[in-house]
């Protein structure tokens, strides 16, 4: 018997999207103004959003997807709650999105393979098809860990090795 769950669809840009479980949703922010740029940070995550007393790291998956080179100061953010596995704490993060999040019901029969970009397996354990779009389901503990930086480093190292071998 197929089961279903509620997810929140997050538009990234150029028709791409990802999703998180409804339980992670905290707030859809349309007037984000307080940011702190962090030096020596990866391009896809180089600022913190000041949300009350909390500092939420902002991740822009559009950079990793090659949709843009530099991340503009975001105006719309999806604030989420996740578990920091390294420190065993529940904390907040923000995902840069380009439109309103959308609530969707996801069933087992919608499951499909992850998109081909190298980083998805590191941050998305599964994926579903929604109106012909492939939508990865994010593991937020991984998104806000150093998994993406590690994946990028490994991808570059592999590419360098391949060039060297050739």
Question: Does residue number 143 form part of the binding site for other proteins (CB under 8 A)?
Answer: yes
Phi, psi of 36 (to 5 degrees): -130, 115
Residue 127: count other Cβ atoms within 10 Å of its Cβ.
18
Instruction: Map residues 24-63 to x or -, x wherever contact with other proteins holds by CB under 8 A.
Output: ------------xxxxxxx--xxxx-----xx-x-x----
Which of the ranges 8-16, 24-32, 89-97, 158-166 carries the binding residues for other proteins, by CB under 8 A?
89-97
40 sits in the region (left: phi over 0; alpha: psi -120 to 50; else beta) called left
**Does 93 sit near other proteins (CB under 8 A)?**
yes
Q: Kindly state the smallest distance separating residue 110's Cβ from other proteins, in Å.
A: 28
DSSP secondary structure letter of residue 39: S
State in angstroms the smallest separation of the CB of 143 from other proteins. Answer: 7
| Residues 15/133, Cβ–Cβ less than 8 Å | yes
- The structure tokens 């050739």 sit at 166
Nearer Cβ to other proteins (41/161): 41
- Which is closer to other proteins, CB of 31 or CB of 37? 37
Binding segment toward other proteins, per CB under 8 A, in 13-21, 96-104, 143-151, 156-164: 143-151
CA distance 5 to 16: 21
Q: How far is the CB of 150 from other proteins (least distance, A)?
A: 9
Calpha distance 73→56 (Å, rounded) = 14
Residue 108, SS3?
helix
Q: List interacting residues with other proteins (CB under 8 A).
A: 36-42, 45-48, 54-55, 57, 59, 83-84, 86-93, 143-146, 148-149, 153
């Amino acid at each position: 018997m197929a089961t279903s769950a509620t997810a929140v669809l997050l538009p990234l840009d150029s028709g791409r999207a990802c999703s998180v479980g409804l339980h992670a949703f905290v707030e859809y922010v349309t007037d984000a103004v307080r940011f702190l740029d962090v030096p020596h940070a990866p391009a896809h995550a180089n600022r913190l959003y000041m949300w009350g007393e909390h500092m939420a790291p902002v991740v822009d998956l559009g950079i990793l997807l090659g949709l843009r080179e530099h991340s503009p100061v975001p105006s719309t953010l999806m604030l989420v709650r996740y578990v920091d596995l390294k420190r065993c704490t529940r904390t907040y993060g923000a995902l840069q999105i380009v439109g309103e999040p959308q609530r969707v019901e996801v069933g087992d029969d919608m499951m499909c393979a992850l998109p081909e970009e190298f980083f998805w397996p590191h941050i998305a354990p599964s994926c579903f098809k929604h109106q012909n779009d492939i939508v990865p389901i994010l593991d937020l503990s991984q998104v806000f860990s150093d998994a993406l930086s590690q994946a990028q480093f490994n991808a570059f190292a592999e590419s360098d090795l391949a060039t060297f071998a050739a």
